[in-house]
Amino acid sequence: MPSGLTGPTAPPEPGRAAGAPAKAAARPGSGPAAGSEPAAGSEPAAGSGDGAAPVRSRRFPSITRDTARPEGGGRAAPGDAPAPARQWPMLAVLTATAAGLLVTAVGHARGGCLMIGIALIAASVMRRLLPSVGMLAVRSRFTDMVTYGLLGVAITLLALVMEPKPWLNIPFLETAVRFTVR
């Protein structure tokens, strides 16, 4: 369609309101006719008091005026509850993980790793069952569940096969380690 057509018979260009002036006159100070009156025959800009509502552009705005609230921005308790109570799922997982690290630091590596793995598995279960988990929600529900669950299971299995005297004996594991460490 030729760009010189304006008026009620020509549909508006994408991103331009119906009846809006041409691109050169759309921005003040752009083009050779800066500061001059609009050309004869051009219609007034949309929203200039003629009662017509402006047509919204489908283009992505160059300046973002609002952002979506992250999924984890919600609360796990009512808004009038104190801050720690609103984030109890995250605090429970962090407390259990800190206790596991402390147990590991004092010399009981298997017990500490089991505590950390179980805390991550509990985070996965809470992410699935609770409607709002506060800051425990980082990504989508599915991604959080898979991430917490896989890390928790991996750490728990490593704690169970830890030497000396592993609690879980996987037959091919000793052969695989011997083959790779030779």
Structure tokens at 180: 């790779």
pLDDT in tens, 30-42: 444 444 455 555 5
Structure tokens at 179: 């083959």
pLDDT in tens, 69-97: 555 555 566 667 677 777 888 999 999 99
Mean pLDDT of the chain: 75
Residue type for position 171: P
What is the structure's pLDDT at 59? 77
- Residues 27-53 have a mean pLDDT of 53
Structure tokens at 69: 């609230």
Q: Which residue has the higher pLDDT, 149 or 38?
A: 149
pTM of the model: 0.55
pLDDT in tens, 83-140: 777 788 899 999 999 999 999 999 999 999 999 999 999 999 999 998 888 888 888 8
Considering all CA atoms of the chain, what is the largest pairwise distance in Å, rounded to the nearest integer? 93
Structure tokens at 82: 């104190």
Are 43 and 7 contacting, i.e. CB atoms less than 8 angstroms apart? yes
Local structure of residue 54 (DSSP, 8 states):
P
Residue type for position 57: S
- Residues 5-24 have a mean pLDDT of 52
Name, in order, each residue with C-beta under 8 angstroms of 13's C-beta and a sequence gap of 6 or more: 3
- Residues 155-174 have a mean pLDDT of 85
DSSP-derived secondary structure for 95-151: HHHHHHHHHHHTT-HHHHHHHHHHHHHHHHHHHHH-S--GGG--S-HHHHHHHHHHH
What is the structure's pLDDT at 34? 47
| Three-state helix/strand/coil letters over 74-87 | CCCCCCCCCHHHHC
